[in-house]
Amino acid sequence: MRYHRVPDETIKRLPIYLRRVIHLSEMGVKCVSSTELAIFLGISPWQIRKDLSYFGGFGTRGVGYNVENLVSRIREILKLNVTRKAALVGVGNLGSAILSYPGFNRYWLEIAAAFDIDKGKVGKKLNGLVVEDVAYLRTLKDRQINLGIIAVPGEAVQEVANNLVEAGIKAILNFAPRYIEVPKRVKVITIDIALYLARLPYYVPSKWMGKTY
- What is the nearest approach in angstroms of DNA to the Cβ of residue 33? 3
From 4, 54, 62, select the one nearest 33 (Cα to Cα): 62
Contact region with DNA (CB under 7 A), list: 4-12, 79-87, 88-96, 134-142: 4-12
- If one asks whether residue 9 binds DNA (CB under 7 A), the answer comes out as yes
- By the rule CB under 7 A, 131 interacts with DNA: no
Determine, following the binding rule CB under 7 A, whether residue 168 of this chain makes contact with DNA.
no
Q: What character string, x for contact with DNA (CB under 7 A) and - otherwise, covers 59-78? A: xxxxxxx-------------
Residue 59 binds what, of a second copy, DNA, none (CB under 5 to 8 Å, by partner type)? DNA
Task: Identify which of residues 51 and 116 has a Cβ nearer to DNA in the complex.
Answer: 51
Strand partners for 174: 150, 190
Q: Which does 194 bind (CB under 5 to 8 A by kind): a second copy, DNA, none?
A: a second copy
Closest CA to 188 of 208, 210, 160, 211: 160
Q: How far is the C-alpha of 112 from the C-alpha of 128, rounded, in Å?
A: 10
User: Pick from a second copy, DNA, none: which does 45 bind, CB < 5 to 8 A by kind?
Assistant: DNA
Q: Name, in order, each residue with C-beta under 8 angstroms of 115's C-beta and a sequence gap of 6 or more.
A: 87, 88, 89, 90, 91, 131, 132, 133, 134, 136, 137
Q: SS3 of 124, please?
A: coil
